[in-house]
Chain A
């Protein structure tokens, strides 16, 4: 199985680099152009959240292979920023603490098949999402 790719995120340039690498890894894993674009869009949102709220962090691209034959791509977006005080609120459509459209996290959840978020105020946020090959 291909190794993980970790991309350090510290500026808006890194957001573009992360989604471009994510698209390339997704295409190599066998995803269609359309699915790879969904994945790249999710990475763009997650990486931007890191820059906007935590200044820096990382995005890890992890090709996954289950024993039942399922192939997928897991993305881990992690930072040691201020964390999210109310995760339920942050996952609500239209809610934004930054003046954005409030579609970032709930949108990412719609784009991907699996979504998990761990965040504690003061100790950072880790969002783990997976898309499975249909």
Chain B
């Protein structure tokens, strides 16, 4: 299950479209880091609306994606965590503390634009 990555201006948008295996998540991590370098992107949005479960492996991989992308000087936003998924994550002990999250794609884009403006 490959995750499509769209390029919109300086932002990459990865939209997860179904439940992902661990191997799929690692593939997404590699693809995003490569494309941030290739396109000199300033921001990345990972849309997890379609993710059925966010367990410890998925959370760890998203944290790694965000940290790797931050080292490139770009920002990552996770959007679309479903309410029941958020409920389970908190019970499990996962808070994704140092990654910005937003309600949906639109809010995620707004967050990145605001961040870009505050830098320029």
Contacts and interface: CB of A to CB of B under 8 A. Distances in A.
A38 B55 CA distance: 10
B91 interface: yes
A78 interface: no
Interface in B29-74: 52-57, 59-60
A104 B83 CA distance: 21
B9 interface: no
Interface string B6-42: 0000000000000111110000000000000000000
Contact of B91 (A19, A38, A44): A38
A103 B22 contact: no
Interface residues on A, range: 20 to 34
Interface residues of B, number: 24
Dominant secondary structure of chain B at its interface with chain A? helix
A15 interface: yes
B3 interface: no
A103 B19 contact: no
A106 interface: yes
Nearest to B89: A41
Interface of A: 12-13, 15-16, 19-20, 23, 33-34, 36-38, 40-41, 44-45, 48, 93, 100-101, 103-104, 106-108, 110-111
